[in-house]
Amino acid sequence: MRNNTPVDNLLVLIAILASATGYGFYFRARSGRLKATTKKGATAVISCITPVEMGTEFGSVATLLQFSSAFCAPCRATKVLLGEVAKDHPGVVHVVLDAESHLELVRRLKIISTPTTLILDPKGHEVGRAVGAPRREQVAAALHALR
Amino acid sequence: MSSMLKASVQIDARGARFGALITAIVFSVALVTQSPALIMWQAAVFAIGAFRGPQFTPYAVIFRSVVKPRLKSNPIFEDVRPPKFAQAVGLVFTIIALIGSLLGSSVVFSVAVAAALAAAFLNFAFNYCLGCQFYLLGVRLVSPRNSKITLEVK
């Protein structure tokens, strides 16, 4: 391939910055949004976890199961936020697991990035999940819907 | 407590973000001028950031001496490990770009620089966290999976 001219490279630069900006807005809009987990037979069974695996009992209303990692900046803020939410809502338990040391669970629950928060019903079935740092009102609304 | 063991260095997140801005500018100029010298410079900066920490790079020095005194906002303290991870990923991409340049392939050079530029730009403009998106994925790919049997028993 012949060497590009600076003008060609400038066009490439503009294209990269434009697509990165587009992706950035898409990413920002999607990040932390809580999605209800659809129960389609097998999916509901797979998205199930035992108290032993989690290291604690399920909350009587819900469990906020957060997967974190040391290389994730927003994980800490999410941990603080969900801890406060759990404190404000009786029957809601907040659990933080280090994703790296629970790889089997991570694979089974199809966790790809951190933070990922699963909302579990009292039986430990996944009813919702948020990929990225969720906002307080989003979590509160999801918990309200569970009652 | 395990949290005591995990206690790590905290840095000003605004400094890391400023560093990402300078990095994005360096990559932009390197892409347009196809300059391996600039990528070599950036690789050296990334090496400092990845091995010693992002708070020791020349960009962090500029931030502390020039930018920080002019900022009105309070410092945002953040764990050093996420930006350190991002610096290591950046180092890998600059090395790929330099290898491409050595082999005379402007395509390899441009693609590697473009990827690193996109990451640095997203980091600066959207506070994008590379470690959040790719660290776990990398661990998942590298470590062997042995969960098949447990799944079948169930």
Query: How distant is the Cα of B69 from the closest Cα of chain A, in angstroms?
Result: 24
Question: Would the pLDDT of B2 be above 70?
Answer: no
B54 at the A interface (CB within 8 A)?
Answer: no
Domain boundaries, chain A: 1-30, 32-146
Task: Tell me which residue in B82, B137, B140 faces A73 most closely, judged by beta carbons.
Answer: B82
Q: What pLDDT does residue A86 have? A: 94
Q: What pLDDT does residue A17 have? A: 97
CATH class of A32-146: alpha beta
Mean pLDDT, to the nearest integer, of B113-117?
A: 97
Task: Tell me which residue in A23, A28, A73 faces B79 most closely, judged by beta carbons.
Answer: A73
Residue A146 confidence class, pLDDT cut points 50, 70, 90: confident
Domain boundaries, chain B: 10-153
Per DSSP bridges, beta strands A116-120 and A62-68 are antiparallel
Task: Tell me which residue in B106, B128, B135 faces A24 most closely, judged by beta carbons.
Answer: B128
Classify burial at B27, counting beta carbons within 10 Å of its beta carbon; exposed 0-12, middle 13-18, buried 19 or more: buried
Residue A47 confidence class, pLDDT cut points 50, 70, 90: low
Question: Which residues does chain B have within 8 Å of residue A114's beta carbon, measured at their own beta carbons?
Answer: 132, 135-136
Rg (CA), chain B: 18
Question: Would the pLDDT of B149 be above 70?
Answer: no
Say which residues have a Cβ less than 8 Å from residue B27's Cβ, sequence separation at least 6: B42, B113, B116, B117, B120
Contacts of B96-99 with C-beta under 8 Å, sequence gap 24+, read B97/B36, B97/B39, B98/B36, B98/B39, B98/B40, B98/B43
Mean pLDDT, to the nearest integer, of A112-119?
A: 94
Complex ipTM more than 0.90, yes or no: no
With an 8 Å Cβ cutoff, are A71 and B117 in contact? no
Task: Tell me which residue in B33, B110, B139 faces A12 most closely, judged by beta carbons.
Answer: B110
Of the residues B132, B137, B149, B154, the best mutation for testing chain A's interface (the one with the most A CB atoms within 10 Å of its CB) is: B132
With an 8 Å Cβ cutoff, are A12 and B114 in contact? yes
